[in-house]
Every structure is written in structure tokens, then in C-alpha cells.
Amino acid sequence: MPRARRPRKARTPNTGIFRRSRAAQGGAPARLLVGLGNPGADAARHRHNVGFMALDALAAAHDFGAFKRRTRFQGEIAEGRVGDVAVLALKPHTYMNESGRAVGAAMRFHRLEPAAVIVLHDEVDLAAGKVRAKRGGGVAGHKGLRSIRAHIGADFWRVRIGIDHPGDRDRMTGHVLSNFGASDRTWLDPTLDAIVDAFPPLMAGDASAFMSRVALLAPPPGSSPAQAGGETPTGPSGGV
């Protein structure tokens, strides 16, 4: 006599995979935009936090949702679109020197390649207001970039926002960890606005068009748009 078969138990779905698949159907991010800086109100206006400022400007201009703390990504995130591209904006709260932990976590969770990551950061090897963009390359002593490279490799995009060099390496820490002054507003606000305006070509991989547009809209103090793309070799970047 055959044995009676036990009724099958209802299968419990893997809710983690379910959530991921639903997110993918709804438009999972195709780009990860990262602003570098240090968390906290005391650091909000530091030169070292210009990456946070640029990301805030982009998020506001494109009507992203509010930034919210996410333990999974060790920072604050906001979601939105730049043109037709779904993006995740990330402000690491790991402090500058450990930025790669947050970037790596977000990139792996959303199954993105390093080339889909765009990092906005301060650059002392550029005069105030100069902006350069490229994919890959070195880190020039910038410890935030060094951390990101250690976690995801070098094949990510970086947008370098000039904050000028203090002229003496012994003054570097005080320079990058000091607030922008009132006189800096004359170039800082126009530069952030220009980055926002010029960002779509960069999203499409055209760094040259991005830089040309930024230089046209916001020439650095004392320069013409034609001169805005040049660099001044003033030594290694600050690594704070």
C-alpha cells in the first residue's frame, strides 16, 4: 500500500531577492554619484567638503528626494534622475580617509561597475574655481580617492573642484579644514551652478564637453574661459 504523501509546505520567498528584483523593475540606479567630505555641522562649510556641496546642488536641481541615513551604505543617500538616467547620490559618513568603504558597499549592492561611479571632490592642485573631470588615473595624495581606489579600483570618474593650494605643505590641513570665506562666494556659487548645468554630458561620458561648459559659465577668478582648463603644478594634493 503506497504511503500517503505529505502536503507540500508553502514556499517562503527570499524577501531580499524579491525586493532587489522589484527595485530593478522600477529603475535601479545606473550611476552612483558620490560627494566627498566629512560629516557633521562643523565641517559643512569646509573646503574639504566641496564635494558634498556639489552633490547637494545636483540633487536639488534635479529634484531628488531628501538625503536619508542608510547604515548599509555607511552614509546618506538620495535617489533621482539626471535626464533619463536613474542615479543614487551618496555622501559617505565614514570621514574622508575611509570613503571607499561606503562607495564599495553601495556599488556592490546595486551591482554597478566602477565606470558607473562619479566622484566629486576638492582639489588643491587646481586654482580656486577650476574644474577638471576624467575617468581613471592617480589620486595625487588625496586620501578619500586613495580609499575609493583601494575598495573598487581606479576605473571610476572623478570631478576635481579646485580650492587652491595654501602654498606651504605645513599649512595644508588648516587650509582644507577651514571654511570658505565670504570672498569665495563670488566663484564658489557660480562654479557649483555651472557643474549642475554641465553635468548631463559628463553622464554620457563626454568630459571635454563638461569641462568646456563649466569654464564658459564660471571662469575661475582672474582667468578667461580659454584659460580655465589649465592646471598649476603646485605639488601633491592634501591628504586629510
Q: Give yes or no for residue 211 having a pLDDT over 90.
A: yes
pLDDT tens for each residue of 113-135 = 999 999 999 999 999 999 999 99
- CA 92, CA 62: separation in Å to the nearest integer? 20
pLDDT tens for each residue of 162-181 = 999 999 989 999 999 999 99
Q: Give yes or no for residue 12 having a pLDDT over 80.
A: no
Look at residues 1, 45, 198 and name the one whose alpha carbon lies nearest to residue 118.
198
* pLDDT at residue number 169: 86
* pLDDT at residue number 227: 55
* pLDDT at residue number 224: 55
Sketch the domain layout of the chain as residue ranges: 27-227
* pLDDT at residue number 1: 53
Q: Give yes or no for residue 146 having a pLDDT over 70.
A: yes
Q: Which member of 46, 48, 121, 142 is catalytic?
A: 48
pLDDT tens for each residue of 48-86 = 999 999 999 999 999 999 999 999 999 999 999 999 999
* pLDDT at residue number 20: 37
Strand order in the sheet with 157-162: 68-70, 75-82, 85-92, 31-35, 117-123, 157-162, 131-135
Q: Give yes or no for residue 187 having a pLDDT over 70.
A: yes
Q: What is the mean pLDDT of residues 28-37?
A: 96
Q: Is 48 one of the catalytic residues?
A: yes
State whether CATH 3.40.50.1470 applies to domain 27-227.
yes
pLDDT above 70 coverage of the chain, percent: 82
pLDDT tens for each residue of 87-108 = 999 999 999 999 999 999 999 9
- CA 156, CA 113: separation in Å to the nearest integer? 8
